[in-house]
Amino acid sequence: MDDMIVKYFDGMKFGKLQQFGVLGIIPVFNRTGENQEYLTLKEAMTKNLLKITELNDSGAVPELKVMNYAEIPVLILDGEELMGAKQNRIVNTSILLREKFETIIPVSCVEQGRWSYTSKNFQDSDRIASSNLRNVKSTSVKKSVESSGEYLSDQRAVWDEVHKLQDKMEVNSPTSAMGDVYDAKKIDLQEFVKAFELMEGQKGVLVFVDGKIIGLDVVSNESAYKDLHEKLIKSYALDSMVPNNDIKSNVNIDMANEFIEEILKSNESKNESVGYGFDYRFASQLYTGSSLVYNNEVIHVSFFKSINADDNGEMKRYNTRANLRQY
């Protein structure tokens, strides 16, 4: 793994475990640099600084056109949902949009049953795809970018995951829209948001379900994370909402340290990003991940449990490489 990214992980500190049902979250802190200024999707859309449309009047499922009118870059996070136009989409990879610049971005459809305009422009739906859906999408995007340089997803696999989510949540959607699941579970999801309080200085989350690590998301700026906190909590909460399962499993700081040790062993590829910087892709025996890096600063990093990992397996014990301490 690149020395700069290793240093970034070495700088991570973990807070105290928060738990609600089978979902456990450890807040993540990192004091490594906050040099790059940027807006979040939510900030930019609220200030009318982004215009997101179909590629043309006919539209193209895997691509959208974004004009950033802001004086600074805008970060769109992997999995954030754009709502409207001919069908709702999620972004295939984290992108730091250039200021005053038009960018064609790679997306995946999460509304299979609609291909007609409800609005000319897209809006921020205030949702991020469920963590399982992001995981499936990112796995196929990794294969695509490493083989062709294009950030394309397996659209069929994305649709299948949306259908699985609808079946699991017992939600019927006329257009097979991921957003309808969020709307149906709005009250339940708000309980998760209340349970996982945003901590001062927090920049990310390390997430457990049933005592097993399923994901990590960390951004470089504390202010940006504040905008993303509720979105991320709901994303992970959906995949923990299993009927009649409220047993709290044991989680401790050693598991967080072992997770860092494991992902530091990842194989790595480096690719030109869609916007500013470079997009790194990682794979270890147990996890897959990505990182957006610009000007030697890690803007966003995410890891998920590999979809090929043994669900019944336990993570092996490792000697902790980094002397990580609870924050």
Full 3-state SS string of the chain: CCHHHHHHHHCEEECCCEEECCEEEEEEEECCCCCCCCEEHHHHHHCCCEEEEECCCCCECCEEEEEECCCCCEEECCCEEEEECCCCEEECCCEEECCCEEEEEEEEECECCCCCCCCCEEEEEEEECCHHHHHHHHHHHHHHHHHHCCCCCCHHHHHHHHHHHHHHHCCCCCCCEHHHHHHHCHHHHHHHHHHCCCCCCCCEEEEEECCEEEEEEEECCHHHHHHHHHHHHHHHHHCCCCCCCCCCCCCCHHHHHHHHHHHCCCEEEEEECCCCCEEEEEECCCEEEEEEEECCEEEEEEEEECCCCCCCCCCCCCCCCCCCCEC
Q: What is the pTM of this model?
A: 0.92
- The residue written with tokens 């590999």 in the block is 306
In this prediction, residue 110 carries a pLDDT of 98
Give pLDDT tens digits along the chain (327 positions). 888 899 999 999 999 999 998 999 999 998 876 789 999 999 999 999 999 999 999 999 999 999 999 999 999 999 999 999 999 999 999 999 999 999 999 999 999 999 999 999 999 999 999 999 999 999 999 999 999 999 999 999 999 999 999 999 999 999 999 999 999 999 999 999 999 999 999 999 999 998 899 999 999 999 999 999 999 999 999 989 865 555 566 787 888 989 999 999 999 999 999 999 999 999 998 999 999 999 999 999 999 999 876 554 443 333 333 333 333
